[in-house]
Chain A
Amino acid sequence: MTVGPSLLWYTTRATGVVALLLLTGSVVLGVTGVARIDTPRWPRLLNAGLHRNLSLLAVAFVAIHVVTTILDGYAPIGWFSVIVPFTSPYRTLWLSLGTVAFDLLLAVVISSLVRVRLGYRAWRAVHWLAYASWPIALWHGLGTGSDSKLTWLLALDAACVAAMTCTLGWRLTLAGRRPSVLATTLTCIALPLTTAAFVAVGPLQPGWARRAGTPVTLLSGTALRPATTAPPTPPATGNTP
């Protein structure tokens, strides 16, 4: 019997990674936009327009990521779990982080679409949630993805963390002495350290799938196994995805 991920599962993984990259780019542009940089080569209008379009593109890729995950059907993830966290038995905590990040992203996008009616102060308050959705989305990918051990994927995650840390650090140099500076400084230091520590003690360690909360039926490989006796097969030749 041939076993392995389906095309939908690969699409889920790929669109999830691309969505994180787009979200990183969007947040980086958002942070630089706050600095009100306006040069002939990089006008503010371009920064704001790209920030908006990247955000919408990220939401589109998250939508594909979600739909393909559910359609794939291997992991017990329902439509309800897309919006409501802690309702799926599959890696409940880590999947719920993705749900929360998606909810926050939706709130940011919807509030931006009705910004005129909402008022600037309320819109700005909701927009700050984007800062929270980024690390939540990152940890969702690291915790839920069974591919977190891949070197190139870790490198992509590290690049996203580095981009965010550098942008926030650069933003700090422009800020004056304000109470938020201390919080941002601590975030700049804590974000990479916490993420690296989590990866080291979590996904990179053996048995992470069990500790992450994968249902026993999936761990034992009984899910979707046909009732008929499988023909004899040679030993395993590839990596378990």
Chain B
Amino acid sequence: MPQPADHAAHRRDQRLARIRRVSRWVAGGAAAASLGLGTAFAHDLPGRHAPAADAQPGAPAGGIRQSPQPHAAPQRAQPPATTPAPAQTVSGGS
């Protein structure tokens, strides 16, 4: 028959194990949240093309700068054109 002291120790071990388990879940959730929030920031605050005179005083800081990172790939700068592109003609129309 288990002694009261054994029962208390067992209960304490159970609670400590529960602390470890919940803490691991919280740590994993925090890491996942960081990933998700970083993705959300990258979506809501993407890079952009910015000519030299584009920056406006009062624009939020942390914005205008070079970004060689792959997340900005969809808005990669175009290479300088070596030959002028032919004028686009629009035919037809209503």
Contacts and interface: CB of A to CB of B under 8 A. Distances in A.
Interface of A: 1-7, 9-11, 13-15, 17-18, 21-22, 25, 43, 45-46, 49-50, 53-54, 57, 61, 74-75, 90-91, 146-147, 150, 152, 206-210, 212, 214, 218-221, 223-226, 230-241
B41 to A, nearest CB: 5
Contacts, number: 204
Contacts of A90: 61
A5 B54 contact: no
A43 B15 contact: yes
Contact of A237 (B18, B30, B45, B75): B75
A218 B64 contact: yes
B77 A233 contact: yes
Contact of A239 (B15, B34, B48, B51): B48
Interface string B45-84: 1111111101101111111111111011001111111000
Interface of B: 12, 15-16, 18-19, 22-23, 26-27, 30, 33-38, 40-42, 44-52, 54-55, 57-69, 71-72, 75-81
B38 to A, nearest CB: 4
Contacts of B50: 1, 3, 221, 233, 236
A225 B64 CA distance: 9
A209 B60 contact: yes
A102 to B, nearest CB: 18
A5 B47 contact: yes
Contacts of A206: 58
Contacts of B38: 10-11, 13-14
Given A17-B37, A223-B65, A241-B63, A150 B44 contact: yes
A147 B37 contact: no
B48 to A, nearest CB: 4
A6 B75 contact: no
B60 A240 contact: yes
Interface centre among A5, A214, A220 (most CB of B within 10 A): A5
Contacts of A235: 49
Nearest to B22: A50
18 contacts: A2-B67, A3-B67, A4-B67, A5-B65, A5-B67, A6-B69, A46-B22, A208-B60, A210-B57, A219-B58, A219-B61, A225-B66, A230-B51, A232-B78, A232-B81, A233-B78, A238-B47, A241-B46
B48 A226 contact: no
A146 B61 contact: yes
A13 to B, nearest CB: 5
B77 A57 contact: no
Contact of A57 (B27, B36, B63): B27
Contacts of A45: 12, 15-16, 19
Contact of B47 (A2, A61, A218, A223): A2
Nearest to A11: B38
A238 B46 contact: yes
Contacts of B30: 18, 21-22, 57, 61
Contacts of A22: 26, 30
